[in-house]
Chains A and B, each alone.
Chain A
Amino acid sequence: MKAYPLVAGLIFATSAVAETPTLTVYAPDYFASEWGPGPGIETAFEERCGCDLVYKTGELLPRLLLEGEKTEADVAIGFNSDITKKARESGLFAPHGLDTSALTLPVDWSDDTFLPFNYAHTAFIYDNTKITEPLTSFDALLEAPDDLRLVIQDPRSSISGLALVLWVNHVYGDEAADAWAKLAPKIVTVTKGWSESYGMFTDGEADMVLSYTTSPAYHIIAEEDLTKSAAIFEEGHYFMVELAAKLAGTDNPDLADQFMAFILTEEFQSMIPTSNWSFPAALPKDAWPDGFQDLPVPEKVLFYSEDEAAAMRDEAIEAWRSALSQ
């Protein structure tokens, strides 16, 4: 007898679920966490769509590749341009069909599948009360005294570490190995990910850390701390962009399209700076928050297409590895 209310409850629950469609968004862990942009975006989108947006986190591309066609994901957000080749080749993603002319990236972007939602440039961050004469070029960094203490990330385990070896490759080309040899004595250590490096920097263990041009904005806006600066190099900085894409096999193509379009709206874009701590991909500079408008940015932006990045990755990592293994 007691089973009836339970069964009734189940039926009621399923019908309630059926009325509210669910959009499943795969995202990196930092994105969906309470301190990332995810929660704000979820609330804003749910108001528009009358749906339930659910994040699934983890290693984004490996998880999607593991699940293949069976994935529950409708949209995946948080790819990096240096690994999109593998993602594209999987055939799991569909064109977004959006007009990308509103993008405000410092590079031309015409990808019909992967849609940018934020960007930054790789940069070395330093404490401007300790280093009072900023380094203005990569050459100057290479020639700096060897007691300058740098921490970087490993290109084999970290996306920012990979961006650095591509950056060095872009600036020095065939002489990348020499550049690494000059840099090697200054590199205190190499860490698995960004967090270890940045923790070492804020602890004072390192003078400079490989991070992004937007990192000082966090300290300026959230901590009112003006002592952290990005060194701007005249040779240019490597461009880091984060992307979203719609799954070809989505059960909710309309909702997924709606979400992809939402990415380019001012509401979405204006949430990016102070939650993702990076530049919005489609928002004119005068709409950025104060701390962002004043950030020094490089005049020259260096970038490899996904094919170029994939082609030179192994060689660039090997130049790094052999110079730092001496």
Chain B
Amino acid sequence: MAQRAVAITTATLVAGMVLLPVAAVLWRGGGPGTLGPADWAALRFTLWQAAVSAGLSVALAVPVARALSRRSFPGRVALIALMGAPFILPVIVAILGLLAVFGGRGLINQIGAPLGLPRLDIYGYHGVIIAHVFFNLPLAVRLLLQGWQDIPAERFRLAASLGAPVWRVLEWPMLRRICPGAFTVIFVICLGSFAVALTLGGGPRATTVELAIYQAFRFDFDLGKAATLAALQLALGLAAGAFALRVAPKGGFGVGLDRQIDRWDGTGVAARLADSLWIALAAGFLLLPLLSVALAGLPGLAKMPPEVWAAAARSLALALGATALTLALALPLLTGAGETAALMGISVSGLVLGTGYFLLLQPVIRPGDAALPVTMLVNALMALPFVIRILRPGLEGARRDYARLAASLGLSGWHLWRIVYLPRLRRPLGFAAGLTAALSMGDLGVITLFADGDNATLPLQIYRLMGSYQMESARAAALLLLALSLGLFWVFDRGGRLHAAA
């Protein structure tokens, strides 16, 4: 079947785009390096923190997404969009935002101390987990929220009229389908954590594999070791993908009238209270650090250097390019095997990926000239697993529910996509595009390896400003980045929801 051939070709392409650079680094490094006890300790810590962070993010997302799915209140849409922001912040900005709230001199301690509350000390293993939940809870919430929205409204009505327990017959089966995939993408993101884990972890106890790669690359120039560690990351990412494939059951709820109407359950006072509490807690946890980022940025906004605007324009173009590329790669890959292949892109260290592309391109073209295209490609590879995770449940649902109808009408190929699938995927497509654009906007990524002074992106300018003591301008630039990322996200996400009821 032609469709299958396209899927296999794309999966091979994606795998090649990840494996080839890693192989190039390995080859240039003269073969695999040897790992010492410190590296294995880093690997154990990396696995542990990724598993706990992902598990907790998904577990906490269940009540929050459930509350958001069955409550409507003014500002709900804006809240959901804003809550996605931590995911897209550059690391250095997010750390300072988190510390403004949870740090030793942060908001919580400033309020707590006069009240005689014990001092909150963020630095330690719990700090790593809190930070990773801060980054990834929004993603988990959005993925689960989508799961709730995909349950046909007729099922809720039927359950209500039969007095059947909604949790057991509708919600639990949906969660069993969605959660393993959500856990896996977050687990794989956390595998690559470095600056966050180190800073919030309070020191070398929180050493991750990514730090070992950076050290091998920067100080020891031991490319063999860097590539070996990257291959290890790759294996872990693939194992996590295989795990998700095995654990998640197939099946769904059958077709409804493909529209949304009010829920009939969860109207009691206790349920309302609990939902409000979850929404308030999540909003406070995610939005307070963002607020501090925004407030810190305001004073410098008026005198922001012009170079920042140029970098912002460059970043916008980069983000839009990466979005188009990601969607083009994602649509043929909406299968289980495709999702696993896509996980490779985010498993592997960006540093090794960037170095690999540097080595591959160097004989052909000046690396500086390729800085923006390569950054765009790497951003697209990194966003791919999220995009596929977002789109796959919707497409599988549409296939299951409409395939027979479509076949009886003789629809196939492009017409099938245009008439049946794409309209059903509008909402997840909008979300996926928004996420990719925002993610790529905030990613510092491989540009640091290639930048030639005049092709800096906005995140790179923020680092440059900070490196030159210009903290105030850096904070202002971070606010601009936050606003642009959220704006991009909002435009795409909103676009996906236009003309869709609710």
Contacts and interface: CB of A to CB of B under 8 A. Distances in A.
A195 interface: yes
Interface in B63-105: 92, 95-96, 99-100, 103-105
B278 interface: no
Given A33-B456, A157-B214, A192-B194, A58 B448 contact: yes
A147 to B, nearest CB: 10
A126 interface: no
Interface stretch (A7-15, A91-99, A202-210, A295-303): A202-210
B463 interface: yes
B178 interface: no
A243 to B, nearest CB: 17
Contacts of B194: 192
26 contacts: A29-B451, A29-B464, A30-B464, A33-B461, A35-B305, A35-B470, A55-B453, A56-B452, A58-B448, A66-B355, A188-B123, A189-B199, A190-B202, A190-B204, A191-B195, A191-B198, A191-B199, A192-B199, A192-B211, A194-B467, A200-B99, A205-B99, A205-B103, A215-B469, A321-B38, A324-B204
Contacts of A198: 466, 469, 471
Given A35-B468, A35-B470, A67 B362 contact: yes
Contacts of A321: 38, 204
Contacts of A156: 207, 211, 214-215, 219
Contacts of B305: 34-35
B481 interface: no
Interface in A183-221: 187-196, 198-200, 202-205, 215, 218-219
B452 A55 contact: yes
A101 interface: no
Interface string A46-63: 000000001111110111
A190 B452 contact: no
Interface residues of A, number: 55
A62 B92 CA distance: 23
Given A65-B221, A195-B467, 7 more contacts: A33-B468, A36-B468, A55-B452, A57-B453, A154-B204, A189-B203, A203-B99
B199 A190 contact: yes
Contacts of B195: 191-193, 196
A62 B205 CA distance: 27
B362 A70 contact: yes
A88 interface: no
Interface in B101-142: 103-106, 123
B466 A195 contact: yes
A188 B109 CA distance: 15
Nearest to A65: B221
Which of B103, B105, B219, B452 has its CB near the most chain A CB atoms (within 10 A)? B219
B88 to A, nearest CB: 19
B25 to A, nearest CB: 10
A29 B463 contact: yes
Contacts, number: 152
Given A34-B305, A57-B452, A205-B103, A196 B465 contact: no
Nearest to A217: B469
B204 A30 contact: no
Choose among A190, A222, A320 the residue with the greatest number of B CB atoms under 10 Å from its CB. A190
Interface string A120-161: 000000000000000000000000000001000010110000
A162 B203 CA distance: 14
Contacts of B474: 199
Interface of A: 29-30, 32-36, 38, 54-59, 61-63, 65-67, 70, 72, 83, 86, 149, 154, 156-157, 162, 187-196, 198-200, 202-205, 215, 218-219, 222, 277, 320-321, 324-325
Contacts of A196: 92, 95-96, 195, 199
Contacts of A55: 452-453
A200 B450 CA distance: 28
Given A59-B449, A189-B203, A205 B198 contact: no
A287 to B, nearest CB: 23
B262 interface: no
B6 to A, nearest CB: 36
B276 to A, nearest CB: 33
A188 B104 contact: yes
Interface string B15-35: 000000000000010000000
Contacts of A154: 198, 204, 211
Given A199-B92, A204-B105, A35 B464 contact: yes
Nearest to A38: B453
Contacts of B203: 187, 189-190, 324-325
B404 interface: no
Contacts of B218: 59, 62, 157
Interface in B163-207: 194-195, 198-205, 207
A218 B469 contact: yes
Nearest to A32: B453
B217 interface: yes
B262 to A, nearest CB: 46
A70 B449 CA distance: 17
Contacts of A83: 219
B460 interface: yes
6 interchain residue pairs of minimum CB distance: A35-B468, A195-B466, A33-B464, A30-B467, A192-B195, A156-B215
A97 B362 CA distance: 31
Contacts of A62: 217-218, 221, 355
Contacts of A86: 221
B148 interface: no
B296 to A, nearest CB: 8
Given A29-B467, A198-B469, A72 B366 contact: yes
Contacts of B221: 61-62, 65, 86
A209 to B, nearest CB: 12
A202 B453 contact: no
Interface string B264-290: 000000000000000000000000000
A189 B214 CA distance: 19
A187 B471 CA distance: 22
B202 A188 contact: yes
Contacts of A30: 464, 467-468
B386 interface: no
Specify which of A62, A67, A70 lies most central, judged by the most chain B CB atoms within 10 Å of its CB: A62
B316 to A, nearest CB: 19
A157 B99 contact: no
B307 interface: yes
B199 A222 contact: no
Contacts of B452: 54-57
A190 to B, nearest CB: 4
Given A66-B28, A196-B199, A203-B96, A59 B471 contact: no
Nearest to A153: B198
Contacts of B211: 154, 156-157, 192
A59 B218 CA distance: 8
Given A58-B449, A59-B449, A72-B366, A190 B471 contact: no
B385 to A, nearest CB: 25
Contacts of B456: 33
B222 to A, nearest CB: 11
Contacts of A194: 467
